Amino acid sequence: MKRITLQKKILYISLLLIICTISYQGRILNKFSNVQQAKKYIEENSKTCDICSDCAIFSVKNFTNEKILVPLLVWGPNNQIQGFRESIYIANALGRKLVAPPFFPNWNHVADGSPVIHPWNRIDTQLLSNNYDIVSPQKIVELCGSSISQKFSSGIINHNPNRYTIFKKYLGLDTWSNAFSRFPAIETLSPEEENSPLSNAIDKNYLNSIYKSDEKCVVFEYPWNSIPAYDIFVQLKSQEMNEEYKKIVDIIKNTKRPAYIRRAAQKFKNEILAGRKFAAMHWRYDVKDWMKMKINNSERIHSLIERAEIDPKTFASSLESQLLKENISVVYFASPPAEIEFLNNLGSHFQKIEFFTGSSLEDFFKRKFNFCPDILRDSVENISLFEQEICFISDFFIESCFSSWSSNIVLERYAEGIKANLNNLEIVAESFGENYEDSCFVQSFL
């Protein structure tokens, strides 16, 4: 049998690539009315695959002589963001440098994509590393070896052995010791402090009194609400912010969503919303998830939500009045997929307001990232980030109560001086002749 030379193999492969390219461009051309539109589409989208080619950028500093803190994040995506921000503050307070850890998809999204999310696909690590010393996760074994001998506990208990496995595999760790240090100075603590999660991490002296270790590398297990979001919110609204809170606010300002998400959100505003002044409302009160949360005044709150869903016309009238008062004629409804049907029903009762839901955003997102398999693979997670950014850049934001998804946006907006915010329970209550004046922040996770 006659062998094909290497030169001929290269020639055949080149011809095949040319044929595939011509075929692809021909199919694109059929979608558009003229060649110019097709060429513009191809040029724009051919760059999309490289949209995150510069995302994994971290501090170039030599960390050989530094102590390291590696956070193991807990619960869902927005709890993880909150915990990551707190970890930066805590690492700085302890004189340690923070490793950007793996993030994890929401519990009901794992089957749709990867079981782990790169940190640069959750936050803009390049922006963060311009202002803070952040260690690349790829450097952990070089700095710490394959085993870490100590961990600090936040006091939160979470039994998820799969997360341990993914965390270790991602960072290249074999294991770490079961020994942990949370409260080494036991005699200084009350019984309540010994048995409750860390909640006053804003106090640097307190942090240094409970987390004492000469180990170079320590895992920080399950940071969340150690600097309560509500306390940050109160400080953001005060006339004179405490100096330590100014530091956590600066961290919030430097942990933005990835640049490719921010650019896509601006395109959505310009192309789909036609650059108009717009509002965004988050609605997350689904029976299978949110309604199971234990919150104060839960019976009254559940009753308000049920009344809104039974009588969307009355709720829509009150919501429309609020939006028109803000000189807004278009609103984007952000929600889990299970709530889209209700929101379409709600929007159908508007007289003067145009509305959009997640369906239009999902179509736009998939078109824009059609050439990005890594981003589309985790499309559910990325679309959620995309929706958050839409809400963040809105001219008027209406949050969903007791949702970390919403509260993170509120904190980000206040940190940037954007105070045009309201919560949807206030509007629902007003619709039915009542008042709602309580906080919307989750103050414990039950």
Residues facing residue 282 across a β-bridge? 334
DSSP symbols for 327-352: T--EEEEE--GGGHHHHHHHHTT-SS
Bigger pLDDT: 81 or 112?
A: 81
Any domain includes 115: yes
Any domain includes 375: yes
Any domain includes 46: no
**Residue 225 sits in the same domain as residue 292:** no
The residue-averaged pLDDT of 197-201 equals 93
pLDDT band for position 293 (cuts 50, 70, 90): low
Quote the pLDDT of residue 380: 83
**Residue 222 sits in the same domain as residue 291:** no
Domain boundary residue among 218, 253, 288? 253
Domain boundary residue among 253, 279, 296? 253
**Burial label, 446 (beta-carbon count in 10 A; 0-12, 13-18, 19+):** exposed
**Mean pLDDT over the full length of the chain:** 84
The residue-averaged pLDDT of 49-69 equals 81
Quote the pLDDT of residue 439: 76
CATH number of the structural domain spanning residue 172: 3.40.50
Any domain includes 196: yes
**Residue 82 sits in the same domain as residue 187:** yes
**Residue 318 sits in the same domain as residue 242:** no
Bigger pLDDT: 294 or 273?
A: 273
Q: Using the predicted structure, report yes or no on whether residue 89 has a pLDDT greater than 80.
A: yes
Task: At 99, give phi and psi (nearest 5°).
Answer: -90, 135
pLDDT band for position 188 (cuts 50, 70, 90): very low
Write out pLDDT tens, residues 322-354: 999 999 999 999 999 889 999 999 999 999 999
Quote the pLDDT of residue 203: 97
Distance CA 346, CA 315 (A): 8
Quote the pLDDT of residue 53: 60
Any domain includes 23: no
**Residue 145 sits in the same domain as residue 159:** yes
Helices (H), 32-54: 35-46
Task: At 140, give phi and psi (nearest 5°).
Answer: -60, -45
Q: Using the predicted structure, report yes or no on whether residue 181 has a pLDDT greater than 50.
A: no
Quote the pLDDT of residue 381: 87
From 76-85, 148-157, 433-442, the region with the lowest mean pLDDT: 433-442
Bigger pLDDT: 196 or 108?
A: 196
What residue numbers bound the domain in which 336 lies? 259-431
- Confidence (pTM): 0.84
**3-class DSSP state of 42:** helix
Domain boundary residue among 196, 231, 253? 253
Q: Using the predicted structure, report yes or no on whether residue 401 has a pLDDT greater than 70.
A: yes
**Residue 404 sits in the same domain as residue 268:** yes
